[in-house]
């Protein structure tokens, strides 16, 4: 006779459905906790857990659904009960129940993941209308609504969240100011030198910065809704105030039920995330460990992992996961400005610490190293204006690696840049992904268990699925470990071609292949069906088809709208316009060098008014016309081409713009004609297709008003000619260009640019910017100099010829398309109906139409 033991599940309640609370649920599900617990989650907000790290993107088009970390279906699938818009009002520890408006709910174990709340200083008038905070999606909705009737906005608080909020107000077209109590911005992360440089860069973006200001009261304004009165009785008027002056733990539930609370707030926890009541745990920003509150998501995730271990072990079992504090190093981009802080960045927690500082006021970069008293260990670092060395410095710090003989070399500029640490130099304990606490050892173990590619490693460890900052390092480690195990790392462009982009380029060039069909027929992978050239374009994928289209255009510059090439193009190239989020398109005529006649300005205004297009002057010295319907594009371009305009290639991986200052023509400081040079260069390279978009800048003197040193190709005038800079870029990962040659005459400079661009086109990987190409090129800038300037490979004449072919074969793609009735058939929303798209809905804002 046998007996069956029936085990009743315990009740586990989690209060809070933020990022950390949701991550705890994921950890519990992955560890099989639903077999032991009935899990119930209470979330105070009406939204599912969402990504607060990218909260500001809510103002640039993302919605609650796209920011959500999960779905209701996930909770249902795993048997987790989720209550949203359901606040817990109390905890009855004697009866082991939580109290809500809907009743009482018993628990065996309870986790507080209530997070934090914005701190609003006790300033008289801070509760006035249009005094808001920046924390939740509902807060952002309130800010957006208030901004509709405002022209100015002020953020109180100059820390990380304060600058995020200021960027949001600036994005809502408000004249924005930041008021900070401390003598500098981001006082926790940067010192006075770094703070001063950061303030310069923020003010250069049009945001007023007031530091060392204490707001005494907020009252009615005269010209604006509010007047802020400071300690010296100076005033600042504004329509909207956003408080972002720090956070306070949401510990009121814990405080009211008698749990131990820290002197300055926060629920006291031990290494297992247990509170003073062993039935209750706390994680995230509400938890106080070793007298510290951790305001970043990565430590919260580590607490969630430790709490999962605690919940799945008993007091008699060996301890599960534990929390031993967290590294608060941060790498940020605030309003496009890099800021990095590692370890003891101020050097005030390390006895005898030595410091190295580097400040470049022209490039606006500040770097600081803090090393141990013996100079052997990195204990902290600070970066403003350039985070390119952050990852390398973080590995030295996190893993206690021996510093080079001259530590200053890590932050000083050099022709080769700061050498990155290779994967083999990292110990097993090296933290690769801090969001999910994944070490190099974890990655090796995953590969030992059978993983054979990057995707499998990411699925298994979740590395690189948080903030994404570790993606490049993760790939480097995985590739290195696979190769060390004798596994060949496949660098094929895709499954259809077992070649790299560079190899495909060489095949196309050497064999004179001019169609995708011929290429895939001759060189497609063995499992590719051998179809004739007439049907072969239907093969391929979203990776190889645009890549081959770019290669063919780079080599032969035939119209991309030809029948043989059009199936290869993505949406933007297919319709020769950038698709916008509401299904309309942008029209961007070329304005070489930013120079335009009054007559052409009138044409742009007339066309924009006729077709009801949103009009904006861009940072690239052009005028963008947004909101064009697909069926209107040919008519719009017909009028523009008749007036002398050409396509601006804003949709293509090609030359976009050549930005210029007014140079010696107008400026009293100018030493060369930068406008004339910019127009010449833009007209020369306007048909060049490349692995990635290309931008130029031409400055008429060293004052650098065209920002040439942040471009792929930058030219700066000197008394003796032109200096040429290459491989810079703005964007998500800004990089300063590097000096390639000095004091060149015009003929030499143009020839050098020709060779540089064609060398990049033929050797770069797909979608690889010039800056990344240079970083991955063995030999770096010195090698580029040898090939391009010194012609060390004897390629000069060939590169010259290839560029001349591109120049000679240029034809405006839109001019070509509107002459061909067959090509115009593509420009309709419905195949058999000429009606416009009924789903395009617009609304008026500031006198122009925008997506509703």
Digit-coded pLDDT (tens) for 273-291? 999 999 999 999 999 999 9
705 is in an annotated binding site: yes
Please identify which residue in the block is written with the tokens 């129940």.
Answer: 97
Separation between Cα atoms, residue 331 and residue 327, nearest integer Å: 12
Separation between Cα atoms, residue 107 and residue 838, nearest integer Å: 53
pLDDT at 529 over 50: no
For residue 209, the model assigns a pLDDT of 95
325 Cβ contact list (under 8 Å, min separation 6): 289, 290, 292, 299
- CA angle at 555 for the pair 552 and 809, rounded to the nearest 5°: 105
Separation between Cα atoms, residue 179 and residue 484, nearest integer Å: 54
Interior/surface letters 526-555, b for 16+ CB within 10 angstroms, e for the rest? eebeeeeeeebbebbeebbbbbbbbbbbbb
For residue 732, the model assigns a pLDDT of 58
Please identify which residue in the block is written with the tokens 């801090």.
Answer: 434
701 is in an annotated binding site: yes
- 642 vs 536: which has the higher pLDDT: 642
- Single out the residue of 420, 426, 307 nearest to residue 28, CA to CA: 307
For residue 421, the model assigns a pLDDT of 65
For residue 5, the model assigns a pLDDT of 39
By the 8 A CB rule, do 449 and 461 touch? no
Which H or E run includes 843?
A: strand 842-845
pLDDT at 2 over 70: no
- Single out the residue of 644, 630, 706 nearest to residue 670, CA to CA: 706
| Residue 330, beta-bridge partner list | 341
For residue 416, the model assigns a pLDDT of 45
For the sheet containing 103-106, what is the strand order? 88-92, 97-100, 103-106
By the 8 A CB rule, do 671 and 717 touch? yes
Which H or E run includes 224?
A: none
* Mean of pLDDT over the chain: 87
CA distances to 349, 398, 401, 418 from 392, in Å: 22, 10, 11, 8
By the 8 A CB rule, do 42 and 100 touch? yes
- Single out the residue of 355, 364, 323 nearest to residue 707, CA to CA: 364
pLDDT at 271 over 90: yes
DSSP 265: S
pLDDT at 508 over 70: yes
Please identify which residue in the block is written with the tokens 């997070």.
Answer: 115
For residue 400, the model assigns a pLDDT of 86
pLDDT at 481 over 70: yes
Q: β-strands 738-744, 721-726: how paired?
A: antiparallel
Percent of the chain clearing pLDDT 90 (strictly above): 52
- Taking residues 755-778, report their average pLDDT: 89
Percent of the chain clearing pLDDT 70 (strictly above): 93
Q: How confident is the model at residue 785 (pLDDT cuts 50, 70, 90)?
A: very high
Which has the minimum average pLDDT: 120-134, 452-466, 680-694, 798-812? Answer: 452-466
Q: How confident is the model at residue 127 (pLDDT cuts 50, 70, 90)?
A: very high
Segment 815-826, tens digit of pLDDT:
998 888 888 887
149 Cβ contact list (under 8 Å, min separation 6): 239
DSSP 720: T
- Taking residues 4-17, report their average pLDDT: 80
pLDDT at 380 over 90: yes
For residue 151, the model assigns a pLDDT of 95
Domains (range + CATH), the chain: 10-117+249-311 (3.50.50.60), 120-245 (3.50.50.60), 327-421 (3.30.390.30), 423-487 (1.10.10.1100), 501-569 (no CATH), 578-808 (3.30.413.10)
pLDDT at 315 over 70: no
- Single out the residue of 528, 573, 533, 565 nearest to residue 549, CA to CA: 565
Separation between Cα atoms, residue 187 and residue 780, nearest integer Å: 36
For residue 86, the model assigns a pLDDT of 94
Query: Treating both helix axes as pointing N-terminal to C-terminal, what angle do 471-484 and 440-448 enclose, rounded to 10 degrees?
Result: 50
pLDDT at 834 over 80: no
- Single out the residue of 446, 467, 465, 442 nearest to residue 456, CA to CA: 446
Q: How confident is the model at residue 314 (pLDDT cuts 50, 70, 90)?
A: low
- Single out the residue of 515, 817, 805 nearest to residue 688, CA to CA: 805
DSSP 809: T
Cβ-count burial of 266 within 10 angstroms (0-12 exposed, 13-18 middle, 19+ buried)? buried
pLDDT at 52 over 70: yes
Separation between Cα atoms, residue 115 and residue 287, nearest integer Å: 8
- CA angle at 333 for the pair 180 and 654, rounded to the nearest 5°: 140
pTM of the full predicted structure? Answer: 0.58
For residue 776, the model assigns a pLDDT of 77
DSSP 722: E
Separation between Cα atoms, residue 132 and residue 156, nearest integer Å: 10
- 454 vs 657: which has the higher pLDDT: 657
Q: How confident is the model at residue 401 (pLDDT cuts 50, 70, 90)?
A: confident
pLDDT at 244 over 80: yes
3-state secondary structure 479-544: HHHHHHCCCCCCCCCECCECCCHHHHHHHHHHHCCCCHHHHHHHHCCCCCCCCCCCCHHHCCCCCH
661 is in an annotated binding site: yes
DSSP 363: T
Please identify which residue in the block is written with the tokens 């591109």.
Answer: 806
Which has the minimum average pLDDT: 125-134, 323-332, 682-691? Answer: 323-332
Separation between Cα atoms, residue 814 and residue 646, nearest integer Å: 7
- CA angle at 771 for the pair 767 and 775, rounded to the nearest 5°: 105
Query: Treating both helix axes as pointing N-terminal to C-terminal, what angle do 501-511 and 544-556 enclose, rounded to 10 degrees?
Result: 40
- Taking residues 240-249, report their average pLDDT: 93
Q: How confident is the model at residue 67 (pLDDT cuts 50, 70, 90)?
A: confident
Segment 673-723, tens digit of pLDDT:
999 999 999 999 998 999 999 999 999 998 889 999 999 999 999 989 999
Q: Is 373 helix (H, G, I), strand (E, B) or coil?
A: coil
Q: Is 586 helix (H, G, I), strand (E, B) or coil?
A: strand
Longest dimension (CA), the chain: 104
For residue 839, the model assigns a pLDDT of 63
555 is in an annotated binding site: no
374 Cβ contact list (under 8 Å, min separation 6): none
């Amino acid at each position: 006779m046998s007996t069956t033991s029936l085990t009743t599940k315990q009740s586990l309640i989690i209060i809070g459905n933020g990022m950390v609370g949701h991550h705890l649920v994921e950890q519990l599900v992955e560890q099989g906790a639903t077999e032991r617990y009935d899990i119930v989650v209470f979330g105070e907000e009406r939204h599912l857990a969402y990504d607060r790290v990218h909260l500001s993107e809510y103002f640039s088009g993302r919605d609650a659904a796209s920011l959500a970390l999960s779905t209701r279906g996930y909770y249902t699938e795993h048997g987790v009960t989720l209550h949203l818009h359901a606040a817990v009002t109390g905890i009855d520890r004697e009866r082991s129940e939580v109290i809500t408006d809907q009743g009482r709910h018993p628990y065996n174990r309870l986790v507080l993941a209530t997070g934090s709340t914005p701190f609003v200083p006790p300033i008289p008038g801070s509760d006035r209308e249009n005094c808001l905070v920046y924390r939740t999606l509902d807060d952002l909705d309130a800010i957006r609504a208030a901004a509709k009737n405002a022209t100015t906005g002020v953020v109180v608080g100059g820390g990380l969240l304060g600058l995020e909020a200021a960027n949001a107000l600036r994005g809502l077209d408000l004249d924005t100011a930041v008021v900070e109590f401390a003598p500098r911005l981001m006082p926790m992360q940067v010192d006075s030198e770094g703070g001063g440089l950061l303030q310069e860069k923020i003010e250069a973006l049009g945001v007023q910065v007031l530091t060392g200001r204490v707001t005494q009261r907020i009252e009615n304004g005269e010209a604006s809704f509010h007047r802020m009165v400071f300690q010296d009785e100076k005033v600042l008027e504004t329509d909207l105030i956003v408080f972002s002056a720090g956070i306070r733990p949401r510990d009121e539930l814990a405080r009211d039920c008698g749990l131990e609370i820290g002197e300055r707030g926060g629920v006291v926890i031990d290494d297992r995330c247990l509170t003073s009541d062993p039935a209750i745990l706390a994680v995230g920003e509400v938890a106080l460990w070793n007298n510290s509150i951790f305001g970043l998501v990565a430590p919260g995730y580590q607490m969630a992992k430790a709490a999962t271990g605690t919940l799945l072990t008993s007091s008699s079992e060996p301890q599960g996961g534990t929390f031993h504090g967290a590294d608060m190093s941060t790498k940020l981009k605030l309003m496009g400005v890099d800021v990095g802080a590692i370890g003891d960045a101020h050097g005030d927690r390390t006895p005898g610490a030595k410091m190295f500082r580097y400040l470049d006021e022209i490039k606006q970069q500040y770097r600081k190293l803090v090393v141990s008293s013996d100079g052997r260990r990195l204990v902290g670092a600070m970066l403003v204006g350039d985070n390119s060395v952050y990852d390398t410095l973080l590995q030295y710090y996190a893993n206690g690696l021996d510093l080079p003989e001259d530590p200053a070399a890590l932050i000083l500029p050099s022709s080769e840049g700061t050498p990155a640490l290779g994967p083999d130099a990292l110990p097993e304990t090296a933290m690769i992904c801090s969001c999910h606490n994944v070490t190099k050892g974890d990655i090796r173990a995953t590969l030992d268990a059978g993983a054979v590619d990057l995707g499998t490693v990411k699925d298994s460890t979740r590395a690189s699925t948080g903030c994404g900052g570790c993606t490049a390092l993760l790939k480097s480690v995985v590739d290195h470990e696979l190769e060390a195990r004798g596994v060949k790392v496949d660098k094929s462009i895709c499954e259809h071609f077992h070649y790299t982009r560079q190899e495909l380029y060489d095949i196309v060039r050497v064999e004179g292949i001019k169609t995708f069909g011929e290429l895939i027929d001759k060189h497609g992978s063995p499992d590719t069906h051998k179809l004739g050239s007439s049907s072969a374009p239907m093969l391929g994928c979203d990776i190889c088809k645009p890549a081959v289209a770019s290669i063919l255009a780079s080599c032969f510059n035939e119209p991309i709208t030809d029948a043989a090439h059009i199936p290869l193009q993505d949406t933007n190239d297919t319709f020769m316009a950038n698709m916008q989020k509401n299904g309309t398109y942008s029209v961007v005529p070329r304005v070489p060098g930013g120079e335009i006649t009054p007559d052409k300005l009138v044409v742009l205004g007339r066309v924009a008014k006729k077709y009801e297009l949103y009009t904006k002057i861009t940072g690239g010295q052009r005028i963008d016309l947004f909101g064009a319907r697909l069926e209107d594009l040919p008519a719009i371009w017909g009028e523009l081409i008749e007036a002398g305009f050409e396509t601006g290639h804003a949709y293509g991986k090609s030359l976009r713009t050549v930005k210029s200052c007014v140079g010696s023509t107008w400026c009293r400081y100018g030493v060369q004609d930068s406008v004339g040079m910019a127009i010449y260069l833009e007209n020369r390279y306007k048909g060049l297709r490349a692995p990635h978009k290309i931008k130029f800048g031409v400055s008429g003197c060293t004052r650098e008003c065209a920002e040439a040193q942040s471009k792929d190709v930058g030219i700066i005038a000197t008394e003796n000619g032109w200096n040429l800079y290459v491989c810079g870029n703005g964007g998500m990962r800004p990089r300063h260009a590097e000096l390639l040659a000095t004091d060149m005459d015009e003929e030499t400079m143009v020839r050098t640019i020709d060779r540089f661009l064609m060398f990049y086109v033929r050797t770069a990987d797909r979608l690889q910017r010039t800056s990344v190409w240079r970083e991955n090129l063995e030999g770096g800038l010195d090698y580029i100099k040898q090939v391009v300037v010194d012609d060390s490979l004897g390629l000069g004449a060939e590169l010259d010829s290839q560029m001349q072919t591109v120049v000679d074969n240029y034809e405006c793609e839109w001019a070509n398309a509107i002459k061909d009735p067959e090509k115009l058939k593509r420009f309709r929303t419905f195949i058999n109906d000429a009606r416009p798209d009924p789903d395009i809905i617009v609304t008026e804002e500031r006198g122009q139409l925008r997506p509703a």
